[in-house]
Chains A and B, each alone.
Chain A
Amino acid sequence: MRIEMRGIDKSFGSNQVLKQAGFTLESGEVHALMGENGAGKSTLMKILTGVYTKDAGTVLVDGKEVNYKNPQEAEKAGIVFIYQELNVMFDLTVEENLFMGKEIHGRFGICDKKAMQKKAQEALNILGVNISPKTVMAELSVGQQQMVEICKALMADAKVIIMDEPTAALTQSETAALFKVIESLRKKGVSMVYISHRMEEIFELCDRITVLRDGSYIGVKNIPETNMNEIVKMMIGREIGERYPSRNVKIGKEVLKVKGLTRKGTFHDVNFSVRAGEVLGVSGLMGAGRTEIMQAIFGNLSYESGTIEIDGKEVKISNPRQAMEHGIGFITEDRKTEGLMLDKSIRENISLCNLRRISKSSVISREAEKNMVAEAIKDLHIKCFGAYHECNNLSGGNQQKVVLAKWILTNPKILILDEPTRGVDIGAKKEIYSIINKLAAQGVAIIMVSSELPEVLGMSDNIMVVREGEVRGIISYEEANQERVMTLATGGTI
């Protein structure tokens, strides 16, 4: 199937998000769609699949003009969009999700469970994933849920699959599994649009790259004939320089020490420490227990044994409020469900962690709040219409900056960042790295959990590798490299 989009315009209110955008997809290719957040990638694809209607332009599928009114029509034509926020029903089983609306009926119109489970199992086997159709969706990892979505697309006989940031929530091994699946689909003649910020992946996987900037088509490149720098330049319109800004910090005394932290079935005998000004990278596969360890330190998850010491004194932390009182800040991996109140303004989000700072005997001072928020917006370069801008309408990078702002303002001694640059574009990523460096320079002890190895390697003083709930090793910056970290993360020894 060949898709051509030409001269697409789209505005939301007075905000024009697409200006003469275009895109061509050849049959059987894996085509990367790149651009900074807000460049219009998702919007363009949503127009293709009938989620939005275009203001101007034409969409041709195999040379014929089409105009899908809704995603169902696009799906019937064989074009399926797998969203970043997966479209699954968590309380239903894999099989029920796969056959939603397309149930196989037996005699008397009763659903034929057995037949559906058999077909589901077959489809999952084709993808080579080890998931039982009887599993409830919520029990699967994000990577597995994504596989179910791909499986659903294939069962709908998709000729074109669009994936928005498919690896954002995946670990290295899950990513590898996904790439294998994409590879086999390509051989079957399925074309794919691959929206991602991860350069390494795109150069490994894709045939061509189309770059959008500010809603306009910038150009298309064949992968073998281009390089990362050229693409970055196309995306941001200028050169970006060093990806990981350097930092020159004198590391101070030990701030946080974790001894023998254990929670049955989640993590076991976790020992590590972080010093003032140090960035401790935490690497590991997804589901290794990294996030859970951090949640436990922050008092959001209970643990059975072990101790936590701050500034050499043992502390008892049983909820996030106490953690905050001990000077810990925690930026969660999922800013949309845990980090932000999306339907609230920047002001309300930033204030939430800092209510004490802006109030006197529980009464909020509007003046103090206004100044605090205005300063944060300025300091962190949050792009917005002002303090009253709703977080829903901010790009991923700016949303993340709001989360950063609200925690930085609490003046933490220890800041835990869980996947701080997930779903954030290159420009904002670099800004976030600079912010982390600045905090380290101020003597904040930083723990950075990340599934992006280059990021961990580029930013950390020491790297702690977690596997199956255990710390497999702590490697210093000088000794660390991709192979060593991966070896530890996957169960080998170095």
Chain B
Amino acid sequence: METKKKSVSEYVQEYGAFIALIVLVVGIGIVSPEFRTWSNFLSLLRQSSINGFIAFGMTCVILTDAIDLSVGSILGLSTALCAGMIASGFPVVPAMILALIIGTGLGLVSGVLVTKGRLQAFIATLVTMTVYRGLTMIFMDGKPISNLGDSFALKLVGKGNIFRIPIPVILFVLAFIAFYFMLNKTTFGRRIYATGSNSKCARLAGVDIDKTKIIVYGISGFMSALSGLILLSRLNSAQPTLGDGYEMDAIAATALGGTSMSGGRGKIQGTLVGVLIIAVLNNGMNILGISSYYQDVVKGIVILIAVLSDRNR
């Protein structure tokens, strides 16, 4: 009585993105021996974590029927400030923690603009995206910061391994578990879905819509800053344009995973699959030596197919 019967086509629809991921991995694996190595697999996962962190936060925002265009700029600004602090001799670990707090705060600002300012999410985060990027440029004077010294902690987050598994990959898995738990097992997760599904109904059921949205933007900001720290560690320098355009990959991964752009429907597992599809495409096409011009076209077409097959939902 508790289970809902599903037809084959419904299964294909529900797991369409997952099937696509398997097909891609097997297909590219057959063509390229380089692709199917353990080390490439790990580096693929490590690459995907950068987009993954942001996409998890983005998924929550989109589930509330909003959008966050500012993620790339938050990544840029929080990383720049962190690099600035380290370069000027501030202790590394506190600087990194501060970067996460700053990222969260920058996200909260978007949330307040959307809720208390009654701005449309697209416009509000277009504003914060632009302003944060501008502030990054001002702070860095348009130049990179690379004299970050030789801190163990900073190296660890991006380049470290535990049992030969890269730390970004471990963090990625932990983040997935945390988001899965939050969305599926907690009252806050229910409120996120309710807000996006029918905000009027949710409000009348006692859900504080504004608070829910503000927190979700805070989460998105935190994840962007976390992603930035890993980039900072890997690159050992901060660029003023760091994170530029990252919102697009995060939104693409969320859409690929079947999350409805009008909120209320979607799963974090889907986003994980979406993130991996994008990573496999990037990694695979690089290995196969496909020109980057063509890569974007292929990526666009894959997203189109995924969204078309999702249409009936």
A residues engaging B (CB < 8 A)?
13, 298, 300, 319-321, 323-324, 330, 332, 337-344, 348, 351-353, 355-356, 359, 362-364, 370, 385-389, 406
Contact = CB atoms under 8 A, between A and B. Distances in A.
A353 B187 contact: no
A362 B192 CA distance: 13
Interface stretch (B2-10, B21-29, B47-55, B153-161): B2-10
Given A341-B264, A386-B4, A320 B206 contact: yes
B201 A355 contact: no
Nearest to B206: A321
B198 A385 contact: no
Contacts, number: 85
A389 B5 CA distance: 10
A341 B4 contact: no
A352 B207 contact: yes
B70 to A, nearest CB: 27
Contact of B198 (A341, A353, A386): A341
A337 B198 CA distance: 7
Contacts of B191: 355
Given A348-B190, A355-B190, A386-B1, A342 B198 contact: yes
B194 A352 contact: yes
Contacts of B193: 341, 344, 348
Given A343-B264, A352-B190, A386-B4, A406 B205 contact: yes
The range of chain B's interface size is 20 to 34
A355 B1 contact: no
Contacts of A13: 7
30 contacts: A298-B204, A323-B206, A337-B200, A338-B198, A338-B200, A338-B201, A340-B201, A341-B193, A341-B198, A342-B198, A344-B194, A348-B190, A348-B194, A352-B194, A352-B201, A352-B207, A353-B205, A359-B186, A359-B187, A362-B186, A362-B188, A364-B186, A370-B2, A385-B1, A385-B4, A386-B2, A386-B4, A388-B3, A389-B4, A406-B205
Contacts of A330: 204
Nearest to A321: B206
Most chain B beta carbons < 10 A, residue from A343, A352, A359, A385 = A352
Contact of A339 (B186, B194, B201, B203): B201
B185 interface: yes
B208 interface: yes
Interface in B1-50: 1-5, 7
A contacts with B: majority SS? loop
A356 B205 CA distance: 12
B197 to A, nearest CB: 4
A340 B197 CA distance: 9
B197 A344 contact: yes
Contacts of A359: 186-187
B187 A364 contact: yes
Contacts of A343: 197, 264-265
A341 B3 contact: no
B202 interface: yes
Contacts of A355: 187, 190-191
A351 B202 CA distance: 11
A331 to B, nearest CB: 9
A298 B191 CA distance: 20
A352 B209 CA distance: 13
A356 B204 CA distance: 16
Given A324-B206, A386-B4, A388-B4, A341 B201 contact: yes
A13 B185 CA distance: 32
Contacts of B187: 355-356, 359, 362-364
A363 B2 CA distance: 21
Given A352-B207, A385-B5, A386-B4, 6 more contacts: A339-B201, A341-B201, A342-B198, A363-B186, A385-B1, A387-B2
A339 B2 CA distance: 24
Contacts of A344: 193-194, 197, 264
A386 B208 contact: no
A300 B202 CA distance: 12
Nearest to A353: B205
B185 A364 contact: yes
Interface in B187-226: 187-188, 190-191, 193-194, 197-198, 200-208
Contacts of A324: 206
Contacts of B201: 337-341, 352
Contacts of B205: 320, 352-353, 406
Shortest Cβ-Cβ A-B pairs, 10 listed: A341-B197, A321-B206, A355-B187, A386-B1, A341-B198, A352-B205, A324-B206, A353-B205, A338-B200, A388-B4
Contacts of B207: 321, 352
B4 A320 contact: no
Contacts of B5: 385
A323 B186 CA distance: 23
